[in-house]
A and B are shown apart, each in its own frame.
Chain A
Amino acid sequence: MEKKVRLLIGKVGLDGHDRGVKIVARALRDAGFEVIYTGLHQTPEAIVNMAIQEGVDAIGLSILSGAHLELFERVLHLLKEKGATIPVFGGGIIPPEDIVALKKMGVKEAFTPGALTDQIVKWIEDNIVPQSL
Chain B
Amino acid sequence: MPKVQAILEGILKKDALIASRLLRAVDDQDPKAVEILEKIYPKRKPSQVIGLTGPPGVGKSTLIDALVAKEREGGACVGVLAIDPSSPFTGGALLGDRIRMSRHASDPDVFIRSLASRGRMGGLSASLQDSLVVMQAMGYSPIFVETVGTGQDEVEVLRVSHTTLVVLAPGLGDSIQSLKAGIMEIADIYVVNKADKDSARTLQSEIEDLIGMKVYTPEDWQPRVILTSPAYNQGLKELQEAIKAHWTYLNQAGRRRRKEEQIAKQLVVGRLQDGILHLLEAKLNHLLGGAWKDEILNPYTMSNKLFERFKQQVVDET
A interface list, Cβ under 8 A from B:
1-4, 6, 25-26, 28-39, 41-43, 45-47, 49-50, 52-55, 82-84, 130-133
Q: What are 27 sample pairs from A and B whose C-beta atoms fall under 8 A apart?
A: A1-B28, A1-B29, A4-B118, A28-B92, A29-B90, A29-B94, A30-B90, A32-B91, A33-B92, A35-B95, A36-B96, A37-B99, A39-B98, A39-B102, A43-B106, A49-B108, A52-B16, A52-B17, A53-B112, A54-B112, A55-B23, A55-B27, A55-B113, A131-B24, A133-B2, A133-B7, A133-B21
Contacts of B31 in A (CB 8 A): 1
Contacts of B225 in A (CB 8 A): none
SS of B interface (majority): mixed
Q: How far is the CA of A39 from the CA of B105 in the complex (A)?
A: 11
- Given A38-B105, A82-B17, A83-B17, 12 additional A-B pairs, CB 8 A: A29-B87, A34-B86, A34-B93, A36-B96, A37-B94, A37-B98, A42-B102, A50-B98, A55-B113, A132-B25, A133-B2, A133-B21
**Residues of B within 8 A of A (CB-CB), count:** 39
Q: Known interface pairs A52-B17, A55-B21. Does A3 touch B95 (Cβ–Cβ under 8 Å)?
A: no
B21 touches A37 (CB 8 A): no
Contacts of B23 in A (CB 8 A): 55
Q: How far is the CA of A1 from the CA of B2 in the complex (A)?
A: 20
A29 touches B93 (CB 8 A): yes
Which of B29, B93, B95, B114 is close to A2, meaning CB atoms less than 8 Å apart?
A: B29
Please give me the 10 A-B residue pairs with the lowest Cβ-Cβ distance, nearest first.
Answer: A46-B105, A55-B20, A39-B99, A55-B24, A29-B92, A133-B25, A29-B94, A32-B92, A32-B90, A37-B96
